[in-house]
Amino acid sequence: MFPVSSAPVRPNRWMLKSKIHRATVTHADKDYEGSLTLDKSLLEAADIIPYEAVYIWNVTRGTRFHTYAMEAEPGSGVVCINGAAAHLAGPGDVVIIATFSWLDEAAARRHLPRVVLMAPGNVIAQVKHSERPGPYHGPGEGP
pLDDT, tens only, 26-43: 999 999 877 999 999 999
Would you call 35 a catalytic residue per the annotation? Answer: yes
- Model confidence band, residue 115 (pLDDT cutoffs 50, 70, 90): very high
Q: How far apart are CA 29 and CA 34, in angstroms?
A: 9
Of the candidates 42, 49, 84, the one whose C-alpha atom is nearest the C-alpha of residue 68 is 49
Between these two residues, 34 and 62, which has the higher pLDDT value?
Answer: 62
Name the active-site residue from 6, 18, 51, 68.
Answer: 68
Would you call 136 a catalytic residue per the annotation? Answer: no
Name the active-site residue from 35, 55, 101, 130.
Answer: 35
- What is the pTM for the complete model shown? 0.88
pLDDT in tens, 66-108: 999 999 999 999 999 999 999 999 999 999 999 999 999 999 9
Residue 11: which residues within 8 A CB-CB, separation 6 or more?
105
CA atoms within 13 A on the CB side of 124: 20
CA atoms within 13 A on the CB side of 41: 15
Domains located in the chain, CATH noted: 13-128 (2.40.40.20)
